[in-house]
Amino acid sequence: MEKIHDLLIIGGGPAGLSAGVYAGRAKIKTIILEKGTGGGQAATTSEIANYPGIRHISGPRLVEEMKLQNEDFGVEFAKADVTGVDFSGEVKVVKTLSGDYHARAVIIATGASPRTLGFPGEEEFTGRGVAYCSTCDGEFFEGLEVFVIGAGYAAAEEAIFLTRFATKVTIIARESSFSCAPSIVDKVMANDKIEVKFNTEILGVYGDGMIQSARFINNVTKEEFEYEAKKEDSTFGVFVFIGYEPKTEIFNGHIEMDHAGYILTDDDMKTNVKGVYAAGDLRPKSLRQIITAVSDGAIAATDAGKYIAEEKDRLGIKDEPAVEKPEKKEQAAVPAGKSALLSDALRGQLKGIFGKMESDVTLVSIVDEGLPKSVELRDFLLDVAELGDKLHLELYNKGENKEIEEKINADKFPVVSLINSRGEYSGVKYHGVPGGHELNSFILAIYNLAGPGQALDSVVLNSIKSISKKANIKVMVSLACHYCPDVVVGAQRIAIENPNVEAEMVDISNFQEIKKKYKVMSVPAMIINDEEVVFGAKKIDEIAALLV
């Protein structure tokens, strides 16, 4: 018999996490499905200064605190890519690549994604000058000029953030004024590195491989002008922040939406389907901010709790007594000599994960002692390897064991590869210290190789098994990128399931020569067989399709 959750929340951004806190605190058995590392748009926001009661905090830090709150109240989390839903029955069904989930009520909190403009060259140069996430891609424009398209809150905030890297930021605003809070506008106008061009629109970007010029028009005077990259720079950046479009495609035909794809709800976040709610930026609203998202989530969870209680009363279902969780102990300081990437709390979680390993996994790292990142990786691996009885570590100095270096194709440093229980190279390799969001992909690589691993849809697995040609995938990442781990996990899972495939995580900050050779100005980016470059977040089935 399938497990039926009380409440299933689709999406781990502020709306979903807020709903989780309210549901968990009300002792509602709740699970949150996250596509990747979660956090939504908040996870890409460098600084949040308008959340009541918190004067300054980064988006990732706020999201992490929200997740910890959920865990405090017993809310479950699961990594799952939702592929479809069935809301026709009393028990709602949410279909994912790793199997179906069942729940008495569902809150949809999938948020929205950046909207594209459609100007000439936008698609062609996405990843090679055109970008949509300053936190993910801002560092690639160090010492270059940047244009920001938009006049709203996001454009203003991101323009300020980009001044950390760019020599100059020019805001291209179609309107005659900003459409955000005066306090943000004041910051923009006071910044010496920012210039604002109102009543201006972009006509297109052009270049050979990377952006080299852009054309603009003043929509009042109709005067056109062109910007060309400085000779010493050879390129520049164009960041587009013109709003978002709801990520609601898979719900089309299942619940009522407006013409733009926003889900319609009443004031209690109820959709037209009984037991199904929507919260956050996927609803029609005048203000899309974290504060309104968490408000939606709280309201949705509160009403969903009433609905679930009524359903259980009607069906005569009695809840089992809740098991009291042991009181949390104060976290001790990180022990001397341990990796700074792992806290004591995280070590405890990893011990639990590694304790479920079905077979042995060996981490093999070739250490270049003259390279600080290689030494940092070594210390991290020494720490991790202590956390599981079936997790082993082999360390060799560069040049010490040529046979091993050839076996794992150690052509870049730092490097660590995963060897399976039969002593075979799994095809999974990391060139960089897997910190930040990539810690998740590293742990999942071990879990998937050792078993039991994440469940895979049979159709996807058959597609992976059908890859008959040798293939190498370099997934170029930034540790600040919350989209990247999904691509890394997908590519590496393919390598684990098919010996013809090798999948490398490459921290682009350590390999500028690769960045320049393939003209990579955005992450995630996959370099396939050292030829084709594919930009953007891709699902595992999409990656497999590129290799068949």
Q: What is the pLDDT of residue 115?
A: 87
Residue 113 has pLDDT above 60, yes or no: yes
Q: What is the pLDDT of residue 178?
A: 96
Tokens standing for residue 534 = 């594919």
Residue 340 has pLDDT above 80, yes or no: no
Band of residue 417 on the pLDDT scale cut at 50, 70, 90: very high
Per-residue pLDDT of 361-374, as tens digits, reads 999 999 999 999 99
Mean pLDDT to the nearest integer, 302-311: 96
87 contacts: CB under 8 Å, gap ≥ 6: 93, 106, 254, 255, 273, 275, 276
Mean pLDDT to the nearest integer, 7-24: 96
Per-residue pLDDT of 197-233, as tens digits, reads 999 999 999 999 899 999 999 999 999 999 999 999 9
Could you give all domains of the chain from N- to C-terminal order, each with its CATH number? 4-112+245-315 (3.50.50.60), 130-240 (3.50.50.60), 344-547 (3.40.30.80)
Q: d(Cα 195, Cα 159) in Å, to the nearest integer? A: 10
Q: What is the pTM of this model?
A: 0.69
Per-residue pLDDT of 28-78, as tens digits, reads 999 999 876 666 666 656 667 777 888 878 777 888 899 999 999 999 998
Contact between 366 and 404 under an 8 Å Cβ cutoff? The reply is yes
Tokens standing for residue 352 = 């639990």
Q: d(Cα 94, Cα 113) in Å, to the nearest integer? A: 21
Residue numbers annotated as active site: 133, 136-137
DSSP element (H, E) containing 532: strand 532-535
